[in-house]
Amino acid sequence: MKKTNFSEWYNDILIDAQIMDVRYPIKGLYVWFPFGFKLRKLTYDVLRSLLDRDHEEAYFPLLIPENELLKESEHIKGFEEEVFWVTRGGFAELDIPLALRPTSETAIYPMFSIWIRSHADLPLKIYQLVNTFRYETKHTRPLIRLREITSFKEAHTAHASWEDAKLQTDAAVALYKEFYDRLGIPYIVSRRPQWDRFPGADYTLAFDTLMPDGKSLQVGTIHHLGTNFAKTFDITYEDRDGNQQFVNQTCYGISERCIAAVISVHGDDKGLVLPPEIAPVQVVIIPIYSKQADSEAILKACNELRDELSRYRVVLDTDDVRPGAKFYKWEKQGVPIRLEIGPRDLSKSSVTLVRRDTGKKESVKRSELQFRLAEAMINVLENITKKARAFLVSHTVAIEIPEQAKGKTGIFQISWCRSESCGRKLQELSDADVLGETEPMEGLCPICDAPTTIRALLARSY
């Protein structure tokens, strides 16, 4: 059951709903089943369509020469323990070891240094959707903590000024909000504590959502890189007065954790519950035969219905099994709408419409079906969004002292002076992580008593 044993529920649903096969013989690497891969494609189509408004998609190599990877000292300190290395070609030792990208700053920025010449080349906004490799030492988990991240969307931008790059981080926040709104996933945006910012960044903003077990999951990050990488990789442009200036950069990334969130936040004990926009099957039609009725007429009506609904991803399930078994199968796959046609529906010129998210059944006139179906699709997203948001809100609690969070799950807001020492003390006393800074409020830091308007978010996290 999702409520009582989330971890078991999660592992079961990945197999039962045909998302991932976890039997691949390398730790932290998993196989996408075809159904899961369709879900992945549809989800990333949404993300792509948002990015394509004003970014261009590109592709950079998987392998990064050691000397480039090691150039930015902060960056490599953050990643050195997580890098997979290629050191041989056949039997020959390579002159320069090659890293499998853990993320692509050091693959992309040497090229930015060549590409960017003048202010006319700015802003530059590109993204790629690739696999990345991280030798994670924490407990690996499908879609959540991977050693091969198969669906890493990373955007990289360059700007004329620090302020322009800041505006881009704001734009990226808006973009990720739109993305997660389309998936019905609620989020909290916070500014990561400085000691936990992305290695090489001026600051990091994070999107977190709450999993059913009350632990938070970071589902995206946005980094202002300042001129840190520009100085290392010599990325300069000639400004309007003819002077050479360093660019300011940002990068922001989302991985298949977005799919882990969709599965976990919306799913129930029957299986997946999917937002219609990304559901691989949006409508399933099931003929209900009975002894007295004319099966051929029912099947004919179902076929006509399928043709009429061709603008949706629709399946007519004519398998020779009981309707109950079909309901069970498609509920598990998260199909938002089920349509049934039986003898009674046929005689009334109606269709029975059943919603996956509520289980509610209703008889809909055949002539009104198109309209009612479109309406139902919107209502599904609205309803699952509302439910998910209510869960997040009811599990977000303001506390006065860090001990109040100890042994509890959920997200806690607490005053904080922003110093690293007090932040670490908060973590220690609550046995939770500081996710970041949230909206300001007057208060006193519970560790040092200093007056502050800053509040920290504390949560046990994945």
Name the residues that contact Zn ion, by CB under 5 A. 417, 422, 445, 447-448
448 binds, among Zn ion, ligand 5CA, none (CB under 5 to 8 A by kind): Zn ion
CB atoms within 10 A of CB 320: 4
Query: Which pairs count as long-range contacts for 165-173, CB under 8 Å and 24+ apart, including other chains?
Result: 165/224, 165/225, 165/226, 165/248, 165/249, 165/250, 166/224, 168/123, 168/125, 168/250, 169/205, 169/222, 169/223, 169/224, 169/250, 169/252, 172/222, 172/250, 172/252, 173/205, 173/222
The CB-nearest residue to ligand 5CA is 253
User: Minimum distance between the CB of residue 459 and Zn ion, rounded to whole angstroms?
Assistant: 19
Q: Is residue 198 involved in binding ligand 5CA (CB under 6 A)?
A: yes
Query: Is residue 146 a contact residue for ligand 5CA (CB under 6 A)?
Result: yes
Q: Which stretch binds ligand 5CA (CB under 6 A): 141-149, 166-174, 239-247, 306-314?
A: 141-149
Q: Which is nearer to ligand 5CA, 257 or 355 (CB)?
A: 257
Q: How many Å apart are CA 271 and CA 39, to the nearest integer?
A: 14
Q: How far is the CB of 231 from ligand 5CA (least distance, A)?
A: 18
Whether residue 60 contacts residue 107, with contact meaning beta carbons closer than 8 Å, is answered with yes
- Using the contact rule CB under 6 A, the part of the chain among 58-66, 217-225, 314-322, 420-428 near ligand 5CA is 217-225
| CB-count exposure of residue 198 (10 Å: 0-12, 13-18, 19+) | buried
Could you give the CA distance from residue 240 to residue 119 in angstroms, rounded to a whole number? 7
Residue 256 C-beta: closest distance to ligand 5CA, Å: 6
User: What does 447 interact with, of Zn ion, ligand 5CA, none (CB < 5 to 8 A by kind)?
Assistant: Zn ion
Q: Is 145 in the site for ligand 5CA (CB under 6 A)?
A: yes
C-alpha 440/C-alpha 416 separation (Å) is: 10
Residues 67-106 binding ligand 5CA (CB under 6 A) are: 103, 105
Q: Among 253, 276, 342, 402, which residue interacts with ligand 5CA (rule: CB under 6 A)?
A: 253
Residue positions counted in the chain:
462
Identify whether the C-beta of residue 338 lies closer than 8 Å to the C-beta of residue 354.
yes
Question: Please, what is the minimum distance in Å from the beta carbon of residue 179 to ligand 5CA?
Answer: 13
Provide, rounded to whole angstroms, the least separation between the CB of residue 196 and Zn ion: 17
Phi first, then psi, for residue 186 (nearest 5°) are: -75, 155
Query: Where along the sequence are the contacts to ligand 5CA (CB under 6 A)?
Result: 103, 105, 134, 136, 145-146, 149, 154, 198, 218-221, 223, 251-253, 255, 257
